[in-house]
Chains A and B, each alone.
Chain A
Amino acid sequence: MINLYEVTETNKMIAEENLDVRTITLGISLLDCIDSDLNKLNDKIYHKIYEAAKDLVATGEEISREFGIPIVNKRISVTPIAMIGGAACKTVEDFASIAKTLDKVAHEVGVNFIGGYSALVSKGMTPADELLIRSIPLALSTTERVCSSVNVGSTKTGINMDAVKLMGEMIKEAAEYTKEQDSLGCAKLVVFCNAPDDNPFMAGAFHGVTEADKIINVGVSGPGVVKTALEQVRGQNFEILCETIKKTAFKVTRVGQLVAQEASKRLQVPFGIVDLSLAPTPAVGDSVADILCEIGLEYAGAPGTTAALALLNDQVKKGGVMASSYVGGLSGAFIPVSEDQGMIDALVAGALTLEKLEAMTCVCSVGLDMIAIPGDTKATTISGIIADEMAIGMINQKTTAVRIIPVIGKGVGETVEFGGLLGYAPIMPVNPFSCDAFVNRGGRIPAPIHSFKN
Protein backbone atom coordinates (compact mmCIF):
# COMPACT_ATOMS: atom_id res chain seq x y z
CA MET A 1 0.00 0.00 0.00
CA ILE A 2 1.05 3.61 -0.60
CA ASN A 3 3.12 5.00 2.27
CA LEU A 4 3.53 8.41 3.86
CA TYR A 5 6.92 8.98 2.21
CA GLU A 6 5.52 8.45 -1.29
CA VAL A 7 2.52 10.67 -0.66
CA THR A 8 4.77 13.42 0.68
CA GLU A 9 7.11 13.12 -2.31
CA THR A 10 4.28 13.51 -4.82
CA ASN A 11 2.68 16.41 -2.97
CA LYS A 12 6.04 18.17 -2.60
CA MET A 13 6.54 17.91 -6.38
CA ILE A 14 3.15 19.54 -6.90
CA ALA A 15 3.35 22.19 -4.18
CA GLU A 16 7.02 23.22 -4.34
CA GLU A 17 8.46 22.06 -7.64
CA ASN A 18 5.70 23.15 -10.06
CA LEU A 19 4.74 19.67 -11.20
CA ASP A 20 1.70 20.00 -13.39
CA VAL A 21 -0.02 18.67 -16.44
CA ARG A 22 0.64 21.45 -18.88
CA THR A 23 -2.25 20.83 -21.23
CA ILE A 24 -5.15 18.61 -22.15
CA THR A 25 -5.69 19.25 -25.83
CA LEU A 26 -8.80 18.01 -27.57
CA GLY A 27 -8.15 17.37 -31.24
CA ILE A 28 -11.23 17.79 -33.42
CA SER A 29 -11.48 16.91 -37.11
CA LEU A 30 -13.32 19.52 -39.16
CA LEU A 31 -13.24 17.52 -42.40
CA ASP A 32 -16.97 16.85 -42.19
CA CYS A 33 -17.68 20.61 -41.96
CA ILE A 34 -16.40 21.41 -45.46
CA ASP A 35 -18.90 23.45 -47.48
CA SER A 36 -18.66 25.79 -50.44
CA ASP A 37 -20.91 28.33 -48.68
CA LEU A 38 -18.84 30.39 -46.23
CA ASN A 39 -21.69 31.09 -43.82
CA LYS A 40 -22.69 27.44 -43.67
CA LEU A 41 -19.04 26.47 -43.20
CA ASN A 42 -18.59 28.84 -40.27
CA ASP A 43 -21.83 27.62 -38.75
CA LYS A 44 -20.84 23.96 -39.03
CA ILE A 45 -17.38 24.62 -37.56
CA TYR A 46 -18.88 26.49 -34.63
CA HIS A 47 -21.37 23.73 -33.81
CA LYS A 48 -18.95 20.83 -34.23
CA ILE A 49 -16.36 22.39 -31.90
CA TYR A 50 -18.94 23.59 -29.39
CA GLU A 51 -20.59 20.17 -29.11
CA ALA A 52 -17.27 18.33 -28.83
CA ALA A 53 -15.61 20.69 -26.35
CA LYS A 54 -18.39 22.06 -24.17
CA ASP A 55 -17.43 19.80 -21.23
CA LEU A 56 -13.65 19.95 -21.74
CA VAL A 57 -12.83 22.69 -19.23
CA ALA A 58 -15.19 21.39 -16.52
CA THR A 59 -13.85 17.85 -16.92
CA GLY A 60 -10.26 19.08 -16.73
CA GLU A 61 -11.04 20.95 -13.53
CA GLU A 62 -12.82 17.96 -12.04
CA ILE A 63 -9.81 15.68 -12.70
CA SER A 64 -7.48 18.32 -11.33
CA ARG A 65 -9.50 18.52 -8.13
CA GLU A 66 -9.82 14.78 -7.57
CA PHE A 67 -6.14 14.01 -8.02
CA GLY A 68 -4.82 17.23 -6.58
CA ILE A 69 -2.69 17.94 -9.67
CA PRO A 70 -2.94 21.28 -11.48
CA ILE A 71 -3.96 21.02 -15.14
CA VAL A 72 -2.79 24.39 -16.39
CA ASN A 73 -4.36 24.59 -19.85
CA LYS A 74 -7.31 23.13 -21.66
CA ARG A 75 -7.03 23.62 -25.38
CA ILE A 76 -8.40 22.62 -28.77
CA SER A 77 -6.65 21.73 -32.00
CA VAL A 78 -8.47 21.44 -35.32
CA THR A 79 -7.77 20.20 -38.85
CA PRO A 80 -5.58 22.67 -40.78
CA ILE A 81 -7.99 25.39 -41.88
CA ALA A 82 -6.41 25.72 -45.35
CA MET A 83 -8.02 22.35 -46.20
CA ILE A 84 -11.34 23.13 -44.56
CA GLY A 85 -11.77 26.61 -46.04
CA GLY A 86 -10.43 25.86 -49.52
CA ALA A 87 -13.83 25.46 -51.16
CA ALA A 88 -15.49 28.48 -49.54
CA CYS A 89 -12.78 31.11 -49.15
CA LYS A 90 -11.94 33.38 -52.06
CA THR A 91 -10.26 36.25 -50.18
CA VAL A 92 -8.06 36.70 -47.12
CA GLU A 93 -11.08 38.21 -45.34
CA ASP A 94 -13.02 34.98 -45.98
CA PHE A 95 -10.31 32.95 -44.28
CA ALA A 96 -10.06 35.45 -41.43
CA SER A 97 -13.80 34.99 -40.81
CA ILE A 98 -13.07 31.34 -39.95
CA ALA A 99 -10.42 32.53 -37.48
CA LYS A 100 -13.10 34.69 -35.86
CA THR A 101 -15.42 31.69 -35.59
CA LEU A 102 -12.64 29.69 -33.93
CA ASP A 103 -11.96 32.57 -31.54
CA LYS A 104 -15.62 32.89 -30.65
CA VAL A 105 -16.10 29.21 -29.89
CA ALA A 106 -12.82 29.15 -27.91
CA HIS A 107 -14.19 31.93 -25.70
CA GLU A 108 -17.52 30.18 -25.27
CA VAL A 109 -16.15 26.81 -24.22
CA GLY A 110 -13.49 28.52 -22.08
CA VAL A 111 -10.26 27.21 -23.63
CA ASN A 112 -7.31 29.59 -23.64
CA PHE A 113 -5.96 28.70 -27.09
CA ILE A 114 -7.26 27.02 -30.23
CA GLY A 115 -4.69 25.80 -32.75
CA GLY A 116 -5.01 24.77 -36.37
CA TYR A 117 -5.17 27.99 -38.35
CA SER A 118 -2.62 26.16 -40.43
CA ALA A 119 -1.40 25.08 -43.82
CA LEU A 120 0.78 22.09 -44.70
CA VAL A 121 2.89 23.17 -47.65
CA SER A 122 6.12 21.20 -47.31
CA LYS A 123 6.25 20.47 -51.05
CA GLY A 124 3.91 22.96 -52.68
CA MET A 125 1.09 25.40 -52.03
CA THR A 126 -2.45 25.17 -53.37
CA PRO A 127 -4.18 28.52 -54.00
CA ALA A 128 -6.10 27.94 -50.75
CA ASP A 129 -2.88 27.29 -48.81
CA GLU A 130 -1.36 30.49 -50.11
CA LEU A 131 -4.50 32.47 -49.37
CA LEU A 132 -4.60 31.15 -45.81
CA ILE A 133 -0.94 32.02 -45.28
CA ARG A 134 -1.57 35.54 -46.60
CA SER A 135 -4.52 35.88 -44.21
CA ILE A 136 -2.48 34.96 -41.10
CA PRO A 137 -1.51 38.56 -40.13
CA LEU A 138 -5.14 39.69 -40.38
CA ALA A 139 -6.43 36.58 -38.57
CA LEU A 140 -3.97 36.90 -35.68
CA SER A 141 -4.58 40.62 -35.23
CA THR A 142 -8.37 40.27 -35.16
CA THR A 143 -8.54 37.31 -32.78
CA GLU A 144 -7.24 36.63 -29.30
CA ARG A 145 -6.98 32.87 -28.85
CA VAL A 146 -6.32 31.52 -32.33
CA CYS A 147 -2.87 30.02 -33.00
CA SER A 148 -1.41 29.50 -36.42
CA SER A 149 1.26 27.22 -37.84
CA VAL A 150 2.67 26.47 -41.27
CA ASN A 151 4.67 23.37 -42.16
CA VAL A 152 7.15 24.39 -44.85
CA GLY A 153 9.42 21.36 -45.03
CA SER A 154 9.93 17.71 -44.19
CA THR A 155 12.59 15.02 -44.51
CA LYS A 156 10.43 13.26 -47.10
CA THR A 157 9.70 16.28 -49.30
CA GLY A 158 12.51 18.77 -48.80
CA ILE A 159 11.94 22.45 -48.07
CA ASN A 160 9.43 24.63 -49.90
CA MET A 161 11.55 27.77 -50.26
CA ASP A 162 8.68 29.76 -51.81
CA ALA A 163 6.75 29.19 -48.58
CA VAL A 164 9.84 30.04 -46.50
CA LYS A 165 10.14 33.35 -48.35
CA LEU A 166 6.44 34.06 -47.92
CA MET A 167 6.54 33.23 -44.20
CA GLY A 168 9.36 35.75 -43.65
CA GLU A 169 7.07 38.40 -45.14
CA MET A 170 4.02 37.23 -43.18
CA ILE A 171 5.90 37.27 -39.87
CA LYS A 172 6.90 40.86 -40.54
CA GLU A 173 3.34 41.73 -41.52
CA ALA A 174 1.87 40.02 -38.43
CA ALA A 175 4.34 42.00 -36.30
CA GLU A 176 3.26 45.21 -38.02
CA TYR A 177 -0.48 44.43 -37.59
CA THR A 178 -0.02 43.89 -33.83
CA LYS A 179 2.64 46.54 -33.15
CA GLU A 180 0.48 48.20 -30.47
CA GLN A 181 0.85 45.01 -28.40
CA ASP A 182 4.63 44.57 -28.92
CA SER A 183 3.99 42.44 -32.06
CA LEU A 184 2.20 39.80 -30.02
CA GLY A 185 0.68 38.24 -33.17
CA CYS A 186 4.02 36.57 -33.96
CA ALA A 187 3.98 34.77 -30.60
CA LYS A 188 0.99 32.81 -31.91
CA LEU A 189 2.62 31.80 -35.20
CA VAL A 190 5.01 28.89 -35.75
CA VAL A 191 6.85 27.74 -38.87
CA PHE A 192 7.58 24.00 -38.85
CA CYS A 193 9.66 21.33 -40.51
CA ASN A 194 8.36 17.77 -39.90
CA ALA A 195 5.34 19.03 -37.91
CA PRO A 196 3.71 16.23 -35.89
CA ASP A 197 -0.01 15.54 -36.37
CA ASP A 198 -0.68 15.05 -32.66
CA ASN A 199 1.18 17.87 -30.93
CA PRO A 200 -0.82 19.11 -27.90
CA PHE A 201 1.35 22.19 -27.32
CA MET A 202 0.61 25.67 -28.65
CA ALA A 203 1.19 27.58 -30.78
CA GLY A 204 1.95 24.66 -33.11
CA ALA A 205 -0.92 22.29 -32.35
CA PHE A 206 -3.19 21.15 -35.16
CA HIS A 207 -5.28 18.02 -35.65
CA GLY A 208 -3.65 16.09 -38.48
CA VAL A 209 -5.66 14.44 -41.24
CA THR A 210 -4.33 11.03 -40.20
CA GLU A 211 -6.12 11.37 -36.84
CA ALA A 212 -9.53 10.13 -35.65
CA ASP A 213 -12.62 12.35 -35.46
CA LYS A 214 -11.76 13.40 -31.91
CA ILE A 215 -8.75 12.63 -29.76
CA ILE A 216 -7.29 13.57 -26.37
CA ASN A 217 -3.60 14.46 -26.30
CA VAL A 218 -1.85 15.43 -23.09
CA GLY A 219 1.33 17.41 -22.55
CA VAL A 220 3.19 16.90 -19.27
CA SER A 221 5.79 19.12 -17.76
CA GLY A 222 8.01 19.41 -14.73
CA PRO A 223 11.41 21.05 -15.21
CA GLY A 224 11.32 22.03 -11.53
CA VAL A 225 10.97 18.39 -10.46
CA VAL A 226 13.97 17.33 -12.58
CA LYS A 227 16.04 20.24 -11.23
CA THR A 228 15.25 19.37 -7.60
CA ALA A 229 16.08 15.69 -8.19
CA LEU A 230 19.43 16.69 -9.72
CA GLU A 231 20.29 18.85 -6.70
CA GLN A 232 20.58 15.57 -4.77
CA VAL A 233 23.29 14.18 -7.13
CA ARG A 234 25.62 17.17 -7.48
CA GLY A 235 29.18 16.15 -8.36
CA GLN A 236 28.22 12.57 -9.26
CA ASN A 237 29.13 11.02 -12.62
CA PHE A 238 27.05 10.98 -15.82
CA GLU A 239 25.63 7.51 -15.19
CA ILE A 240 24.02 8.64 -11.96
CA LEU A 241 22.97 11.94 -13.52
CA CYS A 242 21.21 10.15 -16.40
CA GLU A 243 19.55 7.58 -14.15
CA THR A 244 18.15 10.36 -11.96
CA ILE A 245 16.66 12.22 -14.92
CA LYS A 246 15.15 8.99 -16.29
CA LYS A 247 13.48 8.04 -13.00
CA THR A 248 12.09 11.53 -12.53
CA ALA A 249 10.79 11.67 -16.11
CA PHE A 250 9.07 8.34 -15.53
CA LYS A 251 7.20 9.65 -12.49
CA VAL A 252 6.18 12.88 -14.20
CA THR A 253 4.95 11.05 -17.29
CA ARG A 254 2.90 8.57 -15.28
CA VAL A 255 0.84 11.46 -13.96
CA GLY A 256 0.26 12.62 -17.54
CA GLN A 257 -0.78 9.14 -18.59
CA LEU A 258 -3.26 8.94 -15.70
CA VAL A 259 -4.78 12.32 -16.52
CA ALA A 260 -4.97 11.43 -20.24
CA GLN A 261 -6.79 8.18 -19.51
CA GLU A 262 -9.21 9.83 -17.10
CA ALA A 263 -9.97 12.66 -19.52
CA SER A 264 -10.47 10.17 -22.33
CA LYS A 265 -12.87 8.10 -20.20
CA ARG A 266 -14.91 11.03 -18.92
CA LEU A 267 -15.19 12.85 -22.23
CA GLN A 268 -15.70 9.58 -24.13
CA VAL A 269 -13.03 10.56 -26.61
CA PRO A 270 -10.19 8.13 -27.47
CA PHE A 271 -6.79 8.69 -25.88
CA GLY A 272 -4.17 9.76 -28.43
CA ILE A 273 -0.74 10.37 -26.99
CA VAL A 274 1.20 11.76 -24.08
CA ASP A 275 3.78 14.32 -25.16
CA LEU A 276 6.88 13.86 -23.02
CA SER A 277 8.11 17.38 -22.84
CA LEU A 278 9.89 19.54 -20.36
CA ALA A 279 8.01 22.75 -20.97
CA PRO A 280 9.14 25.72 -18.88
CA THR A 281 7.07 28.70 -17.75
CA PRO A 282 8.26 32.13 -16.63
CA ALA A 283 7.62 31.07 -12.99
CA VAL A 284 10.76 30.83 -10.87
CA GLY A 285 11.84 27.19 -10.51
CA ASP A 286 10.07 26.07 -13.69
CA SER A 287 13.02 26.45 -16.04
CA VAL A 288 14.85 24.12 -18.44
CA ALA A 289 17.87 26.46 -18.40
CA ASP A 290 18.10 25.92 -14.63
CA ILE A 291 18.42 22.17 -15.23
CA LEU A 292 21.32 22.83 -17.61
CA CYS A 293 22.94 24.93 -14.87
CA GLU A 294 22.33 22.16 -12.35
CA ILE A 295 24.05 19.71 -14.73
CA GLY A 296 27.12 21.92 -14.38
CA LEU A 297 26.98 25.06 -16.52
CA GLU A 298 27.34 28.59 -15.21
CA TYR A 299 24.66 29.76 -17.65
CA ALA A 300 22.72 28.14 -20.48
CA GLY A 301 24.80 28.94 -23.56
CA ALA A 302 28.18 28.19 -21.99
CA PRO A 303 30.39 25.59 -23.75
CA GLY A 304 28.89 22.17 -22.99
CA THR A 305 25.31 23.41 -23.32
CA THR A 306 24.50 21.41 -26.45
CA ALA A 307 25.84 18.20 -24.90
CA ALA A 308 23.96 18.82 -21.64
CA LEU A 309 20.72 19.48 -23.52
CA ALA A 310 21.24 16.38 -25.69
CA LEU A 311 21.59 14.10 -22.69
CA LEU A 312 18.68 15.76 -20.89
CA ASN A 313 16.41 15.34 -23.93
CA ASP A 314 17.40 11.73 -24.41
CA GLN A 315 16.95 10.72 -20.77
CA VAL A 316 13.54 12.42 -20.57
CA LYS A 317 12.42 10.28 -23.50
CA LYS A 318 13.93 7.08 -22.12
CA GLY A 319 12.20 7.57 -18.79
CA GLY A 320 8.95 8.71 -20.30
CA VAL A 321 8.51 6.05 -22.96
CA MET A 322 8.00 3.28 -20.42
CA ALA A 323 5.54 5.37 -18.43
CA SER A 324 3.03 5.82 -21.21
CA SER A 325 1.33 3.44 -23.60
CA TYR A 326 1.38 5.93 -26.50
CA VAL A 327 3.98 8.64 -26.83
CA GLY A 328 3.94 11.29 -29.53
CA GLY A 329 3.81 14.99 -30.27
CA LEU A 330 7.06 16.86 -29.86
CA SER A 331 8.40 14.89 -26.88
CA GLY A 332 11.60 16.52 -25.65
CA ALA A 333 12.90 19.58 -23.86
CA PHE A 334 11.57 22.97 -24.99
CA ILE A 335 13.95 25.91 -25.04
CA PRO A 336 11.76 28.99 -25.47
CA VAL A 337 13.54 32.16 -24.47
CA SER A 338 10.81 34.48 -23.15
CA GLU A 339 9.00 31.68 -21.31
CA ASP A 340 12.03 30.56 -19.28
CA GLN A 341 13.56 32.76 -16.58
CA GLY A 342 16.90 30.91 -16.74
CA MET A 343 17.16 31.55 -20.49
CA ILE A 344 16.40 35.24 -19.98
CA ASP A 345 19.11 35.44 -17.28
CA ALA A 346 21.59 33.75 -19.63
CA LEU A 347 20.71 36.24 -22.35
CA VAL A 348 21.12 39.24 -20.05
CA ALA A 349 24.48 37.87 -18.85
CA GLY A 350 25.64 37.62 -22.48
CA ALA A 351 26.01 33.84 -22.38
CA LEU A 352 23.41 33.02 -25.00
CA THR A 353 23.33 34.01 -28.67
CA LEU A 354 20.97 33.22 -31.54
CA GLU A 355 23.66 31.01 -33.08
CA LYS A 356 24.07 28.97 -29.87
CA LEU A 357 20.30 28.58 -29.66
CA GLU A 358 20.35 27.27 -33.22
CA ALA A 359 22.98 24.69 -32.26
CA MET A 360 20.84 23.65 -29.28
CA THR A 361 17.85 23.04 -31.55
CA CYS A 362 19.81 20.25 -33.26
CA VAL A 363 19.43 18.11 -30.15
CA CYS A 364 16.12 19.08 -28.58
CA SER A 365 12.52 18.76 -29.57
CA VAL A 366 11.59 22.10 -31.02
CA GLY A 367 13.50 25.04 -32.37
CA LEU A 368 14.04 28.76 -32.16
CA ASP A 369 11.17 29.55 -29.86
CA MET A 370 9.83 32.84 -28.50
CA ILE A 371 12.82 34.87 -29.57
CA ALA A 372 12.40 38.65 -29.80
CA ILE A 373 14.51 40.34 -32.49
CA PRO A 374 14.74 43.97 -33.62
CA GLY A 375 11.67 45.24 -35.48
CA ASP A 376 13.73 46.49 -38.40
CA THR A 377 15.02 42.98 -39.27
CA LYS A 378 14.42 42.36 -42.99
CA ALA A 379 11.82 39.78 -44.10
CA THR A 380 14.50 37.96 -46.12
CA THR A 381 16.70 37.69 -43.03
CA ILE A 382 13.79 36.09 -41.13
CA SER A 383 13.31 33.71 -44.09
CA GLY A 384 17.04 32.89 -43.92
CA ILE A 385 16.74 32.05 -40.20
CA ILE A 386 13.70 29.88 -40.98
CA ALA A 387 15.55 28.10 -43.82
CA ASP A 388 18.49 27.28 -41.52
CA GLU A 389 16.19 25.84 -38.90
CA MET A 390 14.16 23.85 -41.44
CA ALA A 391 17.40 22.39 -42.84
CA ILE A 392 18.34 21.14 -39.36
CA GLY A 393 14.97 19.41 -39.09
CA MET A 394 15.06 17.99 -42.60
CA ILE A 395 18.55 16.53 -42.36
CA ASN A 396 18.17 15.20 -38.81
CA GLN A 397 14.69 13.74 -39.40
CA LYS A 398 13.24 15.65 -36.48
CA THR A 399 10.74 18.41 -35.85
CA THR A 400 12.12 21.92 -35.83
CA ALA A 401 10.24 25.16 -35.57
CA VAL A 402 10.67 28.91 -35.62
CA ARG A 403 8.59 31.25 -33.49
CA ILE A 404 10.35 34.55 -33.79
CA ILE A 405 9.04 38.02 -32.98
CA PRO A 406 10.40 41.08 -34.79
CA VAL A 407 9.21 43.71 -32.30
CA ILE A 408 8.21 46.76 -34.31
CA GLY A 409 9.70 49.98 -32.95
CA LYS A 410 12.18 48.28 -30.63
CA GLY A 411 15.85 47.42 -30.93
CA VAL A 412 18.61 45.42 -29.24
CA GLY A 413 18.84 46.05 -25.51
CA GLU A 414 15.16 46.87 -25.09
CA THR A 415 12.74 44.46 -23.44
CA VAL A 416 9.39 43.22 -24.63
CA GLU A 417 6.60 42.05 -22.32
CA PHE A 418 4.06 39.52 -23.63
CA GLY A 419 2.43 38.72 -20.32
CA GLY A 420 1.17 35.50 -18.75
CA LEU A 421 2.63 32.20 -19.92
CA LEU A 422 4.36 33.95 -22.83
CA GLY A 423 6.64 35.89 -20.47
CA TYR A 424 9.06 38.69 -21.37
CA ALA A 425 12.30 38.89 -23.31
CA PRO A 426 15.25 41.13 -24.03
CA ILE A 427 15.62 41.72 -27.79
CA MET A 428 18.46 39.69 -29.31
CA PRO A 429 20.83 40.90 -32.03
CA VAL A 430 20.59 39.23 -35.46
CA ASN A 431 23.49 38.67 -37.86
CA PRO A 432 23.35 41.82 -40.06
CA PHE A 433 24.64 40.31 -43.32
CA SER A 434 22.26 39.79 -46.22
CA CYS A 435 20.82 36.54 -47.61
CA ASP A 436 18.49 38.26 -50.13
CA ALA A 437 19.85 36.50 -53.20
CA PHE A 438 19.54 33.09 -51.52
CA VAL A 439 15.96 33.58 -50.36
CA ASN A 440 14.83 35.15 -53.65
CA ARG A 441 15.88 32.16 -55.79
CA GLY A 442 12.45 30.54 -55.44
CA GLY A 443 11.47 26.88 -55.81
CA ARG A 444 12.28 24.14 -53.35
CA ILE A 445 15.23 22.36 -51.82
CA PRO A 446 15.09 18.63 -52.78
CA ALA A 447 14.58 15.92 -50.17
CA PRO A 448 17.83 14.63 -48.66
CA ILE A 449 19.40 11.36 -49.82
CA HIS A 450 18.57 9.49 -46.59
CA SER A 451 14.85 10.04 -47.12
CA PHE A 452 14.85 7.44 -49.92
CA LYS A 453 14.26 4.39 -47.80
CA ASN A 454 11.84 2.41 -49.96
Chain B
Amino acid sequence: MNKTIITVVGKDTVGIIARVCTYLAENNINILDISQTIVQGYFNMMMIVDTNSMTKKFGDMADEMTALGEEIGVVIKCQKEEIFDSMHRI
Protein backbone atom coordinates (compact mmCIF):
# COMPACT_ATOMS: atom_id res chain seq x y z
CA MET B 1 0.00 0.00 0.00
CA ASN B 2 1.17 3.51 -0.83
CA LYS B 3 -0.68 5.98 1.33
CA THR B 4 -1.14 9.63 0.49
CA ILE B 5 -2.89 12.27 2.57
CA ILE B 6 -5.08 14.71 0.67
CA THR B 7 -6.20 17.84 2.50
CA VAL B 8 -8.88 20.14 1.18
CA VAL B 9 -9.42 23.51 2.85
CA GLY B 10 -11.58 26.43 1.72
CA LYS B 11 -14.99 28.07 1.59
CA ASP B 12 -17.78 25.50 1.63
CA THR B 13 -19.73 24.98 -1.57
CA VAL B 14 -21.84 22.30 -3.27
CA GLY B 15 -20.01 19.30 -4.71
CA ILE B 16 -16.46 19.58 -3.30
CA ILE B 17 -16.32 15.93 -2.24
CA ALA B 18 -18.03 14.82 -5.47
CA ARG B 19 -15.45 16.60 -7.66
CA VAL B 20 -12.47 15.31 -5.65
CA CYS B 21 -13.81 11.75 -5.52
CA THR B 22 -14.59 11.70 -9.24
CA TYR B 23 -11.00 12.68 -9.98
CA LEU B 24 -9.70 9.97 -7.66
CA ALA B 25 -11.94 7.30 -9.23
CA GLU B 26 -10.89 8.29 -12.76
CA ASN B 27 -7.25 7.83 -11.79
CA ASN B 28 -7.69 4.52 -10.00
CA ILE B 29 -6.95 5.96 -6.54
CA ASN B 30 -8.67 4.13 -3.71
CA ILE B 31 -10.07 6.08 -0.73
CA LEU B 32 -9.27 4.46 2.64
CA ASP B 33 -10.58 7.07 5.06
CA ILE B 34 -12.31 10.45 5.02
CA SER B 35 -12.81 12.91 7.84
CA GLN B 36 -14.44 16.24 7.27
CA THR B 37 -15.69 19.18 9.32
CA ILE B 38 -17.10 22.63 8.67
CA VAL B 39 -15.82 25.40 10.94
CA GLN B 40 -17.48 28.83 10.52
CA GLY B 41 -18.38 28.16 6.91
CA TYR B 42 -14.95 26.76 6.11
CA PHE B 43 -14.69 23.31 4.65
CA ASN B 44 -11.87 21.18 6.08
CA MET B 45 -11.32 17.65 4.83
CA MET B 46 -8.63 15.02 5.10
CA MET B 47 -8.57 11.89 2.98
CA ILE B 48 -6.25 8.95 3.26
CA VAL B 49 -5.91 7.31 -0.14
CA ASP B 50 -3.98 4.42 -1.65
CA THR B 51 -2.05 5.44 -4.75
CA ASN B 52 -0.59 2.02 -5.44
CA SER B 53 -2.55 1.40 -8.67
CA MET B 54 -2.58 5.05 -9.70
CA THR B 55 -2.05 5.46 -13.44
CA LYS B 56 -0.09 8.72 -13.13
CA LYS B 57 3.13 9.98 -11.58
CA PHE B 58 2.76 11.46 -8.08
CA GLY B 59 3.88 14.92 -9.19
CA ASP B 60 1.38 15.07 -12.07
CA MET B 61 -1.47 13.93 -9.81
CA ALA B 62 -0.53 16.59 -7.21
CA ASP B 63 -0.46 19.29 -9.89
CA GLU B 64 -3.85 18.25 -11.29
CA MET B 65 -5.35 18.20 -7.80
CA THR B 66 -4.02 21.72 -7.19
CA ALA B 67 -5.58 22.85 -10.47
CA LEU B 68 -8.88 21.16 -9.56
CA GLY B 69 -8.80 22.98 -6.21
CA GLU B 70 -8.37 26.31 -7.96
CA GLU B 71 -11.37 25.51 -10.15
CA ILE B 72 -13.57 24.74 -7.13
CA GLY B 73 -12.14 27.60 -5.06
CA VAL B 74 -10.41 25.53 -2.37
CA VAL B 75 -6.81 24.59 -1.58
CA ILE B 76 -5.93 20.94 -2.21
CA LYS B 77 -2.63 19.47 -1.02
CA CYS B 78 -1.31 15.95 -1.61
CA GLN B 79 1.46 14.65 0.64
CA LYS B 80 2.83 11.16 1.22
CA GLU B 81 1.80 9.78 4.58
CA GLU B 82 5.37 9.28 5.83
CA ILE B 83 5.87 12.93 6.76
CA PHE B 84 2.97 12.80 9.23
CA ASP B 85 3.91 9.35 10.46
CA SER B 86 7.47 10.30 11.19
CA MET B 87 6.47 13.49 12.96
CA HIS B 88 3.65 12.10 15.10
CA ARG B 89 4.48 8.41 15.67
CA ILE B 90 7.46 6.88 17.43
Binds B, one of A59-67, A100-108, A160-168, A234-242: A59-67
Are B79 and A3 in touch, CB under 8 angstroms?
no
Given A11-B7, A254-B86, A258-B86, decide whether A66 and B81 contact each other with a Cβ distance below 8 A. no
Residue A416 lies at the interface, judged by CB distance under 8 Å to chain B: no
Q: Which residues of chain A have C-beta atoms less than 8 A from B84's C-beta?
A: 2, 6-7, 10
B interface, size bucket: 20 to 34
How far in angstroms is the closest Cβ of chain A from B45? Answer: 8
Given A10-B87, A254-B86, decide whether A4 and B79 contact each other with a Cβ distance below 8 A. no
Are A67 and B80 in touch, CB under 8 angstroms?
yes
Are B87 and A4 in touch, CB under 8 angstroms?
no
Are B86 and A66 in touch, CB under 8 angstroms?
no
Residues of chain A in range 137-177 having any CB-CB distance to chain B below 8 Å? none
Q: Which residues of chain A have C-beta atoms less than 8 A from B85's C-beta?
A: 2
Measured in the bound complex, the distance between the Cα atoms of B27 and A344 in whole Å is: 51
Q: Which residues of chain A have C-beta atoms less than 8 A from B44's C-beta?
A: 4, 8
A interface, size bucket: 20 to 34
Are B77 and A255 in touch, CB under 8 angstroms?
no
Q: Which residues of chain B have C-beta atoms less than 8 A from A4's C-beta?
A: 35, 37, 44, 46
Nearest B residue to A7, CB-CB: B46
How far in angstroms is the closest Cβ of chain B from A175? Answer: 43
Are B83 and A69 in touch, CB under 8 angstroms?
yes
**Could you tell me the dominant secondary structure of chain A's interface residues?**
helix
Are A255 and B88 in touch, CB under 8 angstroms?
no
Quick one: which of B37, B58, B88 contacts A2, CB cutoff 8 A?
Answer: B88
How far in angstroms is the closest Cβ of chain A from B78? Answer: 8
Nearest A residue to B63, CB-CB: A65
Measured in the bound complex, the distance between the Cα atoms of B78 and A267 in whole Å is: 23
Given A3-B35, A62-B59, decide whether A67 and B83 contact each other with a Cβ distance below 8 A. yes
How far in angstroms is the closest Cβ of chain A from B56? Answer: 13
Residues of chain A in range 113-148 having any CB-CB distance to chain B below 8 Å? none
Are A1 and B33 in touch, CB under 8 angstroms?
yes
Q: Which residues of chain B have C-beta atoms less than 8 A from A69's C-beta?
A: 83
Q: Which residues of chain B have C-beta atoms less than 8 A from A3's C-beta?
A: 35, 46
Q: Which residues of chain A have C-beta atoms less than 8 A from B5's C-beta?
A: 2, 7
Q: Which residues of chain B have C-beta atoms less than 8 A from A62's C-beta?
A: 59
- Given A2-B84, A4-B37, 12 other A-B residues pairs in contact with their CB atoms under 8 A: A4-B44, A6-B87, A7-B46, A10-B87, A65-B58, A66-B58, A66-B79, A67-B83, A68-B77, A68-B78, A255-B87, A258-B86
- Give me the interface of B with A, judged by CB distance under 8 Å: 5, 7, 33, 35, 37, 44, 46, 48, 58-59, 62, 77-88
Supply 15 A–B pairs (Cβ within 8 Å), ascending by A. A1-B48, A2-B5, A2-B84, A7-B7, A7-B46, A8-B7, A65-B58, A65-B62, A66-B80, A67-B80, A67-B82, A255-B87, A257-B86, A258-B82, A258-B83
